[in-house]
Copies of this chain bind each other. A is one copy, B any other.
Amino acid sequence: MDPFKFQADNRLLFGRWNYIIMKELLSGPKRYSDIKRTLPITGTALTDRLRLFEAENLIMRRLYPEMPIRVEYALTDKGEALRPIVEAFERWISHYNEG
């Protein structure tokens, strides 16, 4: 495993705020505004991350033909496969850090 290639994967899930975005989407498809509300980051920063997640095939964007158009973000299979890792890490945090 090339440690540098790894760094990209590592930061994809666990980079600054990325983990929180993933957790939001693990609780179901979300609109941009739903995700934005949970994070103290700029719209640009969130848009960049969502584009990165999409490029890495972790999430997909769904357009609903409504007026105005509704856009939702949802996890792909690859994104959904992170669930056990995130849940295990959450258990570790609550067991060791909030005990």
Contact = CB atoms under 8 A, between A and B. Distances in A.
Interface residues of A, number: 30
Contacts of A95: 81
A16 interface: yes
A59 to B, nearest CB: 13
A45 interface: no
Interface in A76-99: 78, 81-82, 84-85, 88-90, 92-97
Given A85-B85, A88-B84, A93 B6 contact: yes
Q: Is the interface of A mostly helix, strand, loop or mixed?
A: helix
Nearest to A14: B14
Interface of A: 1, 3, 5-7, 9-11, 13-16, 19-20, 38-39, 78, 81-82, 84-85, 88-90, 92-97
Given A14-B14, A85-B92, 4 more contacts: A1-B93, A7-B16, A9-B93, A81-B96
